[in-house]
Amino acid sequence: MASPQVDTESVSDEGYERGLNGRQVQMIAIGGAIGVGLFLGAGANIAKAGPSLIVMYALAGVIIFFIMRALGELLLYRPVSGSFAEYSREFLGPFFGYFTGWTYWLMWIVIGMAELTAAAIYINYWFPQIPQWATALVFLLVLFGANLISVKMFGEIEFWFSMIKVTAIIGMIVIGLGVLTFGFSAAGDTAAVSNLWAFDGFFPKGIGSSLMTLQGVMFAYLAIEIVGVTAGESKNPEKTLPKAINTLPWRIALFYVGALTVILCVVKWTEFAPGVSPFVEAFAQIGIPAGAAIVNFVVLTAALSSCNSGMYSTGRMLRTLAENGEAPRIYQRLSSSKTPALGIATSVVFMGIGVVLNYVVPEKAFGYVTSIATAAGIWTWLMILISHILYRRQVVAGRLPASSFPAPGGSVCSYIAIVFLLFVTSLIAIDAEARICLYVMAGWAFVLGIGWVALKNRDPRITEGREPKFEKIGG
């Protein structure tokens, strides 16, 4: 007997405005797959792994697709804003919902800290006389205001930010293919597909060195899951979300694998160095005069897009935590425009502290911030996968309705993804510079543990009666 479907309109009415249309959800999903990790971080990873970085992005991309299909099945079973914490709470228990919600909030706060300062640095490229802190403050306030107006405003800003990034990458691919095919430009004489293996082979630094880049590659994919946060505010989530997730493979193939392949064919990998955008280097080699300025603008929009998404996500996550008694109740309130204004404002204050800190600490702090964000992101992905496995068990047992968007292979792909994420965590642990994030996460877990004990002592009901209440389906 077929399992009845959940009424997505009734179960997900949380007071939010369903203001995100299909066009915006599609671009939010695309934008989540393109960030500073690709535009800037790929340079350092190319220097470490050479052309084999293409394989690392493709491998990680497959795992990301497994994660997103698992999330998609959960979203169509019960679409809610703040979904990661909600599914952890339902299938793993209240503590995991509490821990996941706060950890996802932390991830976006540290990303926002880095992106705001990065955006200010990009502006200094054109206007070096403007103080860095002033530029960062202006961006912070503008994005804060946009997020307060309405979810439609957030969606529209993210749409155009994503459009700029997509256009830049497609332009790079088209120009690169033109150089390879017709041999024009300053790079025409040396551009060739053979550049992928002509300089010490496809794995010039060895397979081990290539695998070590996976932690940086996974950082580049952070925020791709933000489409799940939009579930509670999407029009017709049963239509827009599957479409956004199913287009993920071609987005990864085009924007990551395709772009890097073309760049490494046009410019030999030995030309790239840490701290230099491969896109800037490729435009310079081709000989486009305004190339550096164009890419600088694109990377600026990528940073602002990430910060914009961070404000959106953290406000919704704080409201979810408050609704479950795991954050001050005042964060439950929605403004007249149906946005969690107080939650967004609180997050903005913490991001603002990051602007000050990043102004005075050494540049190495950016590496620490990105590794912390990666560790928090891996936790979120693990919770999605484990929740999906437990949900599938309940469906098979007939105690929960089947989703209208089942993941291919059932739970098998989720198990594969879990093993991969644990492997990446082990790579972080053996990297002397990156492992600091594991110490930070251990400290974060200790703080949250103390907070949980305090919440439990204040109101024991927080940890009681919150197990998922399953209902027998069918006969």
- List the single range of 137-146, 148-157, 418-427 with lowest mean pLDDT: 148-157
- Per DSSP, 247 falls in state T
Instruction: Give the predicted TM-score (pTM) of the model.
Output: 0.85
For the CA atoms of the chain, what is the radius of gyration?
Answer: 22
Over residues 80-100, the pLDDT tens digits come to 765 678 899 899 998 998 999
**DSSP per-residue letters across 415-462:** HHHHHHHHHHHHHHHH-TTTTHHHHHHHHHHHHHHHHHHHHHHH-GGG
Task: Give residue 394's pLDDT.
Answer: 94
The Cα–Cα gap between 135 and 132 comes to 5
Name the pLDDT band for 205 (thresholds 50, 70, 90).
Answer: very high
How large is the greatest C-alpha to C-alpha distance in the chain, in angstroms?
Answer: 73
Segment 439-465 mean pLDDT: 86
Q: State residue 2's pLDDT score.
A: 39
Give 389's pLDDT tier (boundaries 50, 70, 90). very high
How many angstroms separate the CA atoms of 48 and 206, rounded?
Answer: 10
Contact 370, 219 (CB under 8 A): yes
Q: What is the pLDDT of residues 343-352, one digit of tens each?
A: 999 999 998 8
Residue 234 sits at φ, ψ, to 5 deg, of -95, 140
Distance, CA of 137 to chain centre: 23
50, pLDDT greater than 70: yes
d(CA 91, CA 85): 10
The pLDDT of residue 10 is: 36
Residue 185: per-residue pLDDT: 77
For the chain, list the domains and their CATH numbers: 36-456 (1.20.1740.10)
Which amino acid is located at 151 in the chain?
V
Alpha carbon distances (Å) from 193 to 16, 183, 204, 261: 50, 12, 16, 9
Alpha carbon distance 241, 264 (integer Å): 33
Report the sign of the C-alpha dihedral through residues 361, 363, 368, 369, in that order. positive
Quote the CA–CA distance of 359 and 40 in Å, as a whole number: 20
Q: Is the pLDDT of residue 79 over 60?
A: yes
**C-alpha–C-alpha distance, residues 267 and 144, integer Å:** 40
Instruction: Kindly indicate the confidence band of residue 66, based on its pLDDT and cuts at 50, 70 and 90.
Output: very high
What pLDDT is stored for residue 291 in this prediction? Answer: 74
Cβ atoms 132, 269 nearer than 8 A: no
Supply the pLDDT for residue 301: 86
pLDDT of residue 233: 61
pLDDT digits 0-9 by tens, 256-277: 899 999 999 998 999 888 767 7
How do residues 165-188 score in pLDDT, each as one tens digit?
888 888 889 989 998 988 887 777
Tens digit of pLDDT for each residue in 325-339? 888 989 988 887 778
Q: At what angle do helices 151-182 and 291-323 cross, to 10 degrees?
A: 150
Model confidence band, residue 472 (pLDDT cutoffs 50, 70, 90): very low
Confidence band for 441, pLDDT divided at 50, 70 and 90: very high
List 234's β-bridge partners, or say none: 20
Model confidence at 15, in pLDDT bands (50, 70, 90)?
low
Which segment of 9-23, 49-63, 205-219, 396-410 scores lowest on mean pLDDT? 9-23
Q: Which residue carries 């880049």 as its tokens?
A: 213
With 90 as the cut, is the pLDDT of residue 11 above it?
Answer: no
| Residue 408 identity | P
Helix (H, G, I), strand (E, B) or coil at 20: strand
